[in-house]
């Protein structure tokens, strides 16, 4: 059943989460399956854009179960970091994800995990007002973006950091790049998000006409 859930995560994360929540015999599972369940639950919860706090004790179990050289340890550290960030502890989140990158040095083929880590690390460095470091990390995320959707997210995050620095031209430029790659991805949700974000940035910098144009595009698409 856990392998079935794993196969559903990418395309049907809502179904994967439903299956996981219906498993009611966790205490009877062997430790290896319980640790695997913890990682699947964290990923499914994250993909459904839900708070990770309910995964806390299971992630702690996974962190204790996996060895420092296990790829799964990196995944557990990554999601524990995201949980800590949701609790407004960005510095601990950064620490956990840097440890995850150390583990991944032994797994050079795992590019997806690196992209996910760099993407959020850049945001957290920005939230901590470490803007130069944030931009450095976000450009690393861009290097690991192998789809138009990944690239759209990376450009949005770079624009976000420039926006935090009140650098209007750069913020708008990268948000427009995000729109361009969202359109290439043909992912409706990503397109709507990128239009919405660009509208917000135009509004923030008092370019009201452009803000209205993109807000209207969102309404039309819906």
Residue by residue, DSSP assigns 154-166 as HHHHHHHHHHHTT
Owner of token pair 């009201």: 208
Distance CA 80, CA 203 (A): 35
**Rg, C-alpha atoms of the chain:** 19
CA distances from 220 to 185, 196, 213, 216 (A): 19, 12, 11, 6
pLDDT for position 222:
63
pLDDT for position 1:
83
Question: Does domain 145-221 correspond to CATH entry 1.25.40.10?
Answer: yes
| 49: its two tokens | 């854009």
User: Could you list the mean pLDDT of each consecutive 10-residue stretch along the chain, which spans 222 residues?
Assistant: 86 91 82 94 95 96 96 97 96 97 93 92 94 94 91 94 93 95 94 94 91 91 69
| 204: its two tokens | 């923030």
Residue 56 neighbours by CB under 8 Å, 6+ apart: 83
Distance CA 68, CA 74 (A): 8
**Domain range summary for the chain, segments of one domain joined by +:** 145-221
Helices (H), 25-147: 31-47, 56-65, 71-86, 90-104, 111-127, 131-143
Model-level pTM? 0.88
């Amino acid at each position: 059943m856990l392998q079935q859930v794993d196969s559903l995560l990418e395309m049907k994360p809502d179904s994967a989460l439903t299956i996981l929540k219906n498993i009611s015999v966790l205490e009877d599972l062997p430790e290896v399956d319980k640790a695997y369940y913890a990682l699947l639950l964290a990923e499914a919860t994250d993909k459904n854009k839900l708070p990770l706090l309910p995964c806390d004790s299971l992630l702690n179990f996974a962190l204790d179960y996996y060895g420092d050289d296990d790829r799964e340890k990196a995944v557990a550290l990554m999601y524990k970091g995201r949980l800590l960030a949701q609790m407004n502890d960005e510095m601990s989140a950064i620490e956990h994800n840097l440890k995850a990158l150390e583990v991944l040095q032994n797994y050079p083929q795992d590019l997806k995990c690196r992209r996910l880590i760099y993407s959020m690390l850049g945001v957290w460095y920005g939230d901590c007002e470490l803007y130069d470091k944030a931009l450095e990390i976000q450009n690393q995320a861009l290097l690991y973006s192998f789809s138009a959707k990944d690239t759209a997210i990376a450009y949005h995050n770079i624009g976000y950091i420039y926006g935090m620095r009140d650098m209007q031209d750069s913020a708008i430029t990268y948000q427009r790049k995000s729109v361009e790659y969202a359109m290439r991805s043909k992912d409706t949700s990503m397109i709507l998000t990128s239009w919405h974000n660009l509208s917000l940035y135009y509004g923030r910098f008092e370019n009201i006409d452009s803000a209205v144009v993109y807000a209207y595009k969102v309404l039309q698409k819906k």
